[in-house]
Structure 1
Amino acid sequence: MNFYTRKWVRPEDLNANGSLFGGSLLRWIDEEAAIYAIIQLGNHRVVTKLISEIDFQASAREGDLIEMGLIATQFGRTSLSMKARVRNMITRKTILSIEKIVFVGVDEDGTPVPHGYTTITYDRDRMPHPQP
């Protein structure tokens, strides 16, 4: 699993207990997973289909640095499944894990569209290019 995105936990990201608000973390993961799906599916129109059970294992405090990791686990005809992990760079503890996140590539009308991919890419070659 590659950990590319890092976030700095700021005061506006905290809950009433002074720790990282789960909703903020889930928003960051959903955004990161959407970007990953866009690159893997070569389609800038993707939607979240499913997020499985979320296992919160530790937390983060103001000033902590966290990093998010994603890995594609399965390509469907129109979808991509992945796993996610978030860890605290300061305490070195895993903050959460999600075993399955599914994104679906759609067209302008929101209809699922086949993508034709079966392997992970580490390039940006799948990104659609604007037509002249």
Structure 2
Amino acid sequence: MKLNRIKIVLILLGLTFLFIIDDVLFILLFKELELWQLSAAVYFAVSVVVFFLNLSLALVVYRALKRRPVTGWEGMIGKTGKALETLANSGQVLVVGEIWQAESMEKIRKGSGVKITGVSGLTLSVVKLKDH
């Protein structure tokens, strides 16, 4: 567990320093061109702010990289939709704006909400959503 935390900290610091390189070059360019006549304290304050902004950006990037994209049939499980016709055994449902062939073990009336429990080829297995 401790090794994972160290790994996360090192990745975040690496990303932060990667993002901060262009900011440092920008500050040095302005200093060399004498576009800014600022004291060392102001440069330090700007550097600290830029560092924390870049650390925040690194954290966002790390979370995005850590999250695995859900695609394919795995992404369909748990989604909800609406029965376009009465499903005695099979019929059509509307899920995420797409019409799918569906099968159900129970009778589902037209217009009822359905929840996807499985996928077999291009056919969805659905159950009726419970009314609250």
TM-score band by shorter chain is under 0.3
> Which structure's relative contact order is higher, taking Cα pairs within 8 Å and 6+ residues apart?
1
TM-score, normalised relative to structure 1: 0.24
Choose between structure 1 and 2: higher helix proportion.
2
* Structure (1 or 2) with the greater strand fraction: 1
- Scaled by the length of structure 2, the TM-score of the pair is 0.24
Indicate the structure (1 or 2) with the bigger Cα radius of gyration. 2
